Chains A and B, each alone.
Chain A
Amino acid sequence: MDNYFKMQIPAKSENEAFARNTLAAFVLPLSPTVEELNDLKTAVSEAVTNCVVHAYDGDGSVAIVAEIHDNMLFVTISDNGKGIEDVDKAREPMYTSGGDERSGMGFTIMETFMDSVEITSSLGQGTSVTMTKSFGVC
């Protein structure tokens, strides 16, 4: 069955587990393997954590929209925060604006664990990351 959900949550680290576990529950009807579920949870965690860590100086929110068509998941995770100046640079492995405590591997992990990752961002407006993954096809 095609399906969708939308949710909006405060951009707080407390919500990271809630967000990734919600997505995992949403794709259960597609009979994902344990590995596929872990990949999805990790990629969702990366995108949500970026909203929590990078998007806002103060409070803000994260919007998650997910759709299932056939065996495909489409998930968009977005914020209304400060945006990314140079998206190509941000995607590079090891690039981080976060100093010594961040590895700069978030986007690389999303790209490795999902079928596609699309980033749109504008300064002062926010960032939106859309990822797709198909399940049950090897």
Chain B
Amino acid sequence: MIRLERLSKVFGTVTAVDGVDMEVPEGEVCVLLGPSGCGKTTTMKMINRLIAPSAGKIFIGGRDTAGQDDVALRRSIGYVIQQIGLFPNKTIEDNICVVPDLLGWPRRKSRERAAELLSLVNLDPALFLRRYPKELSGGQQQRVGVVRALAADPPVLLMDEPFGAIDPINREVIQDEFMKLQAALRKTVIFVSHDIDEAVKMASRIAIFRDGRLVQYDRPDDILAHPKDAFVADFVGQDRTLKRLRLVRVEEAMMADPPRVQAEDTLDTAVALMREHGHGSVVMVGPRGRARGQVRLEAADGRRGLVGENHEPLPGTVLVGDDLRTAVARMFEHDVTWLACVDADGFYKGYVTQRGITHLLGATYGKRS
């Protein structure tokens, strides 16, 4: 969808971008990552020709951008800048409609679109359309900045640290909102960031820059698991393995179809089941399969009775949709080596163990070395 070929930019004596080759497939989020001054913004601004390349080519959808009219090109690319850049003299509605108005959309259509977009990011159109930017909080402005870029439904979106100017808690919320939007819209996004956590969270691919050069361009897990050199390893951080935990969902790491008992089973049955699987405990489920408690081998061995009368509460559960970081955090919290995994309705789906997680992370490591 977007292809950069030997792209370079020289400002006087500074080589801001140096021979970058890169391709972003349609519908993917590519995060440009790197320390300050490494050429991320310059690379991005060359894509919508706010900066003219010194050398190299840029293709969008197979067409060389150099031959196109700059103004028309920019109108077909959504653009979000770090300072948000809402026009303070225009209402929220008019801000969102800037590009549709430039393109000459009928007024009805563009205004309806503005209302629709606002509700997409949980802002009530009735309340916000007529307001001015100064009458919005920072987080609300940031949301408007993002939907403004989407107004004319461009296939490509450029975002320069769009969530940079916002507090960490709100940033997470907006990131999640954006990911939800992106899952539905499947835009091709180029996203500048210098925050590795943000990159790991948002990216389908991460491009790591250093002094204008593209050092590594890979999927987040590969960047974290196999940093190409010391610079990348250092940049992604000592805790890069822990960061990988965020990339895997409990569902992918758990043992599915686990053994289970019900309240009316005897302790003998439970003990036999645990012995069979080599487990130290087994989960008791309700009649329809909801996780209700557990029976531990130590407590049940040699005793008689029903599971229902001898079970203990579960030390903690984790949702199948959570990431492994949450699972591990919860294990530490409850001082256990395994967790029961349930779905949103509480049905018992499987279990994750510390060994299983370690193994999974090791497996990706082993793949290449």
Q: Do A and B bind each other?
A: no
